[in-house]
Amino acid sequence: MTLLDQTLEDTRATAAATGASATERFRADKASLADTPPERVSTLAREVLEAVHATIRRHDVTYDEFNALKAWLISVGEDGEWPLFLDVWVEHVVEEVNSAQRAGSKGTIEGPFYVPGAPRGTGSTTLSMRADEPGTPLLFTGTVTSVDGTPLPGALVEIWHADADGFYSQFAPDIPEWNLRGAVVADEDGSFSIRTVQPAPYQIPTDGSCGKLIHAAGWHSWRPAHLHLKVGAEGHQLVTTQLYFPGDPHNDDDVASAVKPELMLDPRPAEDGDGAEVVYDFVLDRATTEG
């Protein structure tokens, strides 16, 4: 086996582990369909199937194409890539529908790589990272307020992002457990400060079933550089979002369709001369009440 072959083999193993980890994490953390009324399941399933039927009729789908689809669907499950597929190509519409009536800061997709329980600080924190972690140092500061401008002390700001190679801790081997993951509790004035490194653009895993779809369709697999965040406070609606960096070539054609103009950062040279700094403030809508 050549060095190139070994490198490709390592990449395949990493992507396979990523898919398996994402599937297991989803099973552990997300709610099941148990509380969904049968009438709702029936309506949604029927309309999805009707859309599939209409596509088959409109494009005269052949048995060869149908069997290729069956084989691909089987491989998606075997590769553990259903979370990746759904989060990349479907979640942005679910997020759009569910946040349409929410005031305040814009959200976007969560993606498959969130892990609860990250180490947290109060007021300010530095994300756990390796001694030789590549990337430009980044100071991220901001405030969390309610829609009426009231500061929200005690608001929790969770943050996670990929490393310079596009891998997330706990979803790829040989990365410390909480690398580039953390949380901070906002100060009395709602302010927070996070030190990390600026992430790089990356490709979603392409050696598995999602990669086969991308190749067959002639698409690209790039996501622009981004920070993931969840921001919440008592009595307010949680915002799950991603923040992006200007000038990234894939801000306009993100494979996950998750970029919004309101989510663009404005990096400036850090005052201490070490890297860059950004300011982004979060505004949370009040929690809805029923009854």
Question: Does some domain include residue 17?
Answer: no
Residues 8-24: what's their mean pLDDT? 58
**Alpha helices (runs of H) in the chain, residue ranges in sequence order:** 3-29, 38-59, 63-79, 82-89, 91-98, 209-217
pTM of the entire structure?
Answer: 0.88
Question: Does some domain include residue 239?
Answer: yes
Could you tell me the sign of the dihedral formed by the alpha carbons of 112, 251, 207, 171, in that order?
negative
Pick the range with the lowest mean pLDDT from 20-24, 86-90, 167-171. 20-24
Residues 191-213: what's their mean pLDDT? 94
Residue 36: what pLDDT? 83
Give CA–CA dist 159/139, Å, rounded: 13
Find out whether 171 and 21 touch, Cβ atoms under 8 Å: yes
Which residue, among 277, 276, 286, has the nearest Cα to 141 in the 3D structure? 277
Between 231 and 271, whose confidence is greater? 231
How much of the chain, in percent, has pLDDT values that exceed 90?
81
Residue 205: what pLDDT? 87
Determine the 3-state secondary structure of 104 from DSSP.
coil
Question: Does some domain include residue 65?
Answer: no
- Is residue 268 pLDDT above 80, yes or no? yes
Which residue, among 215, 270, 216, 277, has the nearest Cα to 245 in the 3D structure? 277
- Taking only the tens place, the pLDDT of each residue in 167-178 is 999 998 899 999
Domains in the chain: how many in total? 1
- Is residue 12 pLDDT above 60, yes or no? no
Residue 183: what pLDDT? 98
Q: Which two tokens stand for residue 34?
A: 């148990």
Residue 288: what pLDDT? 83
Residue 290: what pLDDT? 52
Question: Does some domain include residue 8?
Answer: no
Residues 231-246: what's their mean pLDDT? 98
The DSSP bridge pattern shows strands 124-126 and 202-203 to be unpaired
Q: How far apart are the first and last CA of the chain?
A: 66
- Is residue 291 pLDDT above 50, yes or no? no
Between 33 and 52, whose confidence is greater? 52
Could you tell me the sign of the dihedral formed by the alpha carbons of 202, 239, 260, 24, in that order?
positive
Question: Does some domain include residue 50?
Answer: no
Which residue, among 147, 116, 99, has the nearest Cα to 230 in the 3D structure? 116
Question: Does some domain include residue 183?
Answer: yes
- Is residue 24 pLDDT above 90, yes or no? no
Q: 133 is in which domain, residue-wise? A: 96-284
Residue 34: what pLDDT? 65
- Is residue 158 pLDDT above 70, yes or no? yes
CATH number at residue 108: 2.60.130.10
Question: Does some domain include residue 148?
Answer: yes
User: What's the mean per-residue pLDDT of the chain?
Assistant: 91
Question: Does some domain include residue 2?
Answer: no
At 126, is the pLDDT very low, low, confident or very high (cuts 50, 70, 90)? very high
